[in-house]
Chains A and B, each alone.
Chain A
Amino acid sequence: MTDDASESDLLKTITEAISDAINVSYGSSGVELQIIAINRLTDVYETLAKAKAQFISQQDEKRANAAYIWARFLCGTQNFLRIWVELKNDDAGSAWLALVAAQSEIALGLRHAECEEMYTLARRLLFIEQTVFPPQQFVSVSHVYKKVLCSICDGPYGEGECNHVEGKLYMGQVCELGLRELVKINHVARVAHPADKACRLETRWDEVRAVDTLTNRIEPKPSNAEEVANGGRARLLRLSTKGEMYKYNAPESPIEPPMK
């Protein structure tokens, strides 16, 4: 993409793909239409990634940063649709991870750009979290590290030559902190408002049975005594904030309704 016309075409492609996806972003929307929209968002994301690489090679920071923001919105919108697809596929765990990814990606985009449509999606995601899923217990693992590195220059963050600020955009890349040289694990705790909602108690166990915290289904009896004593099995790993796009197999035609 080298001129204004093709840039305008790309912007149109992005906004149309997002707009069409939002049109089928409801629980009642046809799953085959949601899958088509998801796959289209991935195609657009890939086109945008190529354009972004070109902006970076041209040292066009303004456009490279805009491409980063649009990529977050494409990824967030796709994960919004995936919530419903995974729920319809009876995979509540993946639906929850899609919810968390959608919230994270849209929030990352909104840190750098005002966009009313995305604020609306963010508010809908919070509502979905509170009404479609049961209340979750979150788990926080606190680590102590010796060094903090900057993802832009790989140097010690805020020291010497590093003039970058966490969360800000530099040539299409967001400055993130890399924690290095683990000193100790400080604590593991249950928290109400975690930094990462992917870290949650997935199964709660009592003396006789294990229950999935999303589906309420009974799971096989736990074998790990420590986990039983802790009251359940938790996901402790942090979800990466790097965008990950998905493609589903082409959907089949909707099932014909039964004859009356």
Chain B
Amino acid sequence: MSEPQIHSVTRDDILSLFAERGVDSIPDLCVVPTNILTVGADDVLVYTTSALDLKARAKEKSLDCPLLTANGDTIPFIEERDSALTLGTIYFSAMWLIDNPLVLPVLANVISDYISDRFRSEVGAKRVKLSLIVEKTPKSSWVSLSYDGPPENCPKIDKLVKDSLK
């Protein structure tokens, strides 16, 4: 089995990026629009419907993982037409990670259960796209992580998050 391909980028512009898109309130744990890091000035922010699945599955485990609004409006949803599972981008604040060390593995299990449910019956090509934004230093430094590959190689997010903070 090949090593998972994780792309990790350290950034200092996350707050300004969100503000430019009309998002000025970011909960400590949330699902952010799927295209937040790539959206052009003239494009609209969108969520994939799997972002809602993540929220619903987290709610089943009594975890609040809300979606954001932009300029007070609901951010629209894009219908996924590819067989790949494009999970929403999950945002973790530094404070949430300090306060919830035992909750992170629960969220990791929610995501891995979702992936295994989704691909349980698939016999053809399987692909997962997952991304995270982790706040390393409050309001000044973040790391964005992304994985794109087969579900069997997809790392658990609790390990990914912990590794990103080292």
Residues of A within 8 A of B (CB): 106-111, 119, 122-123, 125-126, 140-148, 157-158, 162-167, 177, 179, 183, 186, 191-196, 199
Contact of A142 among B55, B57, B79, B125 (CB under 8 A): B79
Q: How many chain B residues touch A (Cβ–Cβ < 8 Å)?
A: 29
A-B pairs with lowest CB-CB distance, top 10: A110-B121, A140-B81, A158-B56, A107-B121, A193-B83, A122-B123, A183-B76, A144-B76, A158-B55, A111-B121
Please give 5 more A-B residue pairs, beta carbons under 8 A apart, in addition to A144-B77, A148-B77, A166-B52. Answer: A110-B121, A145-B77, A158-B55, A166-B49, A193-B127
Q: Is the CB of B52 within 8 A of A195?
A: no
CA distance A166 to B81 in the complex (A): 16
CA distance A164 to B57 in the complex (A): 9
Q: Which residue of B lies closest to A157 (CB)?
A: B52
Q: Is the CB of A143 within 8 A of B78?
A: yes
Q: Is the CB of A140 within 8 A of B56?
A: no
Q: Which residue of A lies closest to B84 (CB)?
A: A193
Contact of B76 among A145, A177, A196 (CB under 8 A): A145
Query: Assuming the A-B contacts A163-B60, A165-B53, are A195 and B82 also in contact, with contact meaning beta carbons closer than 8 angstroms in the complex?
Result: yes
Which residues from A are CB-within-8-Å of B84? 193
Contact of B78 among A125, A186, A191, A195 (CB under 8 A): A186
B44 CB-CB contact with A under 8 Å: yes
Q: Is the CB of B81 within 8 A of A165?
A: no
6 contacting pairs across A/B (C-beta < 8 A):
A107-B122, A109-B121, A111-B120, A141-B81, A148-B77, A183-B44
Q: Is the CB of A193 within 8 A of B77?
A: no
Contact of B121 among A108, A140, A194 (CB under 8 A): A108
Query: Assuming the A-B contacts A119-B123, A148-B52, A193-B82, are A167 and B117 also in contact, with contact meaning beta carbons closer than 8 angstroms in the complex?
Result: yes
Q: Is the CB of B57 within 8 A of A195?
A: no
B35 to chain A, nearest CB (A): 10
Q: Which residue of B lies closest to A199 (CB)?
A: B81
Which residues from B are CB-within-8-Å of A144? 44, 46, 76-79
Which residues from B are CB-within-8-Å of A163? 56, 59-60
Q: Is the CB of A165 within 8 A of B60?
A: yes
CA distance A5 to B122 in the complex (A): 35
Interface residues of B in 18-62 (CB under 8 A from A): 44, 46, 49, 52-53, 55-57, 59-60
